[in-house]
């Protein structure tokens, strides 16, 4: 299979600057070389065009930079849709999590998909519930058909893009009050850090896969590096203590790879300005390799 690397250098959805350099940091961590060593044909499609914040204005403080995020989302959706329809695997590098408004939508254009969202946050706010106005905290709600109509529809397409019952969030530990109500009303599955601790990662991921993979053509994995504990992944804009270990995140990716249903992946919220020796970007590369089938040992005991 060919992997298409698609960079989205966006920091418009977040408060802290620097995450727009995430795609460069991930590439610098030898992403293309390591994918090739795993046996994949790799095509780097470069970066989707994204304006910098200084070129944009905040017209609505509850939906910051929406006027620039909408065209970005359309471009990302087009790039991912082209990749999936050609039978290739889009690997989308962020950038903040608002890019998923486009990436997941692009994958869903030709296939019915379930979404696994590995994240410290559920990103299920709307303009009515957001405490910050940051759109990266709304992307999953938008994909599930909730929130601002111009983002939910993007074009004049039917919505929701994803059936909320085909969404599973893993590793959540920082949810806003209104967001919790939105999640309950939508019926999305939330597997919090408490459940990871209580039941173990294998059980949590297997439940998530079972929940979202019935009657779908494929799984899309959106992995926010802030799902990890900041000790492992310091280079993120919104770190939350008591997160996933490096090994737990690898295991999640490995279990998803074993389904044979993974059709695309986001790696988001890598902020090299806040990182230590590109540690978080290097982890992102390792998780991509695990999701695409790399194993420590492929033999038999």
226 annotated active-site = yes
pLDDT at position 296: 75
Is residue 250 part of the annotated active site? The answer reads: no
Active site residue 97: yes
Is position 176 annotated as part of the catalytic site? no
Q: Any idea where the domains of the chain sit in the sequence?
A: 2-291
* Mean local confidence (pLDDT), 66-76: 98
Per-residue pLDDT band at 301 (split at 50, 70, 90): very low
High-pLDDT (> 70) share of the chain, %: 99
Mean of the per-residue pLDDT values of the chain: 96
Tell me what pLDDT residue 298 has: 67
Catalytic: which of 224, 229, 248, 254?
A: 224
Q: What are the pLDDT digits (tens) for 86-110?
A: 999 999 999 999 999 999 999 999 9
The least confident of 11-25, 152-166, 170-184 is 152-166
Q: Residue 242's pLDDT is what?
A: 97
Residues 6+ apart with CB under 8 A from 54: none
Q: What percent of the chain has pLDDT over 90?
A: 95
Q: Which of 96, 119, 248, 254 is catalytic?
A: 119
From 123, 248, 266, 275, active-site residue: 123
Q: Confidence class of residue 158 from pLDDT cuts 50, 70 and 90?
A: confident
Judge whether residue 204 has pLDDT over 80. yes
What CATH number is given for 2-291 in this structure?
Answer: 3.40.800.10
Q: Can you give the chain as a three-state secondary structure string? A: CEEEEEEECCCCCCCCCCHHHHHHHHHHCCHHHHHHHCCCEEEEEEECCCCCHHHCCCCCCCCCCHHHHHHHHHHHHHHHHHHHHCCCEEEEEECCHHHHHHHHHHHHCCCCEEEEEECCCCCCCCCCCCCCCCHHHCHHHHHCCCCCHHHHHCCCCCCCCCCHHHEEEEEECCCCHHHHHHHHHHCCEEEEHHHHHHHCHHHHHHHHHHHHHCCCCEEEEEEEHHHECCCCCCCCCCCCCCCECHHHHHHHHHHHHHCCCEEEEEEECCCHHHCCCCHHHHHHHHHHHHHCCCCCCCCCC
Instruction: Please confirm, yes or no, whether 232 is among the known catalytic residues.
Output: no
pLDDT band at 258 (very low <50, low <70, confident <90, very high): very high
State the catalytic residue, choosing from 96, 136, 229, 250: 136
**Of residues 20, 148, 248, 269, which has the active-site annotation?**
269
């Amino acid at each position: 299979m060919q992997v298409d690397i698609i960079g989205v250098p966006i920091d418009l959805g977040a408060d802290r600057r620097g995450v727009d350099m995430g795609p460069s940091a991930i590439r610098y961590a030898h992403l293309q070389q390591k994918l090739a060593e795993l046996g994949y044909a790799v095509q780097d499609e470069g970066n989707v065009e994204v304006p910098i914040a200084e070129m944009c204005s905040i017209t609505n403080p509850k939906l910051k930079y929406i006027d620039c995020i909408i065209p970005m989302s359309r471009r990302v959706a087009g790039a991912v849709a082209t990749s999936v329809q050609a039978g290739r695997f889009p690997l989308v590098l962020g950038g903040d999590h608002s890019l998923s408004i486009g990436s997941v939508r692009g994958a869903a254009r030709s296939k019915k998909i379930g979404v696994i969202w590995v994240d410290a946050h559920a990103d299920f706010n709307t303009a009515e519930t957001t405490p910050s106005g940051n759109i990266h905290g709304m992307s999953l709600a938008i994909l599930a058909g909730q929130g601002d109509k111009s983002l939910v529809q993007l074009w004049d397409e039917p919505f929701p893009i994803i059936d909320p019952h085909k969404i599973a969030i893993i590793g959540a530990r920082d949810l806003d009050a209104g967001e919790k109500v939105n999640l309950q009303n939508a019926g999305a599955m939330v597997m919090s850090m408490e459940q990871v601790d209580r039941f173990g990662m294998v059980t949590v991921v297997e439940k998530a896969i079972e929940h979202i993979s019935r009657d779908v053509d494929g799984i899309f994995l959106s992995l926010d590096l802030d799902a990890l504990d900041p000790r492992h992944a310091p280079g993120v804009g919104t770190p939350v203590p008591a997160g996933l270990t490096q090994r737990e995140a690898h295991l999640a990716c490995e279990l998803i790879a074993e389904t044979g249903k993974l059709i695309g992946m986001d790696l988001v919220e890598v902020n090299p300005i806040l990182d230590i020796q590109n540690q978080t970007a290097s982890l992102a590369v390792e998780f991509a390799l695990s999701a695409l089938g790399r194993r420590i040992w492929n033999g038999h005991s």
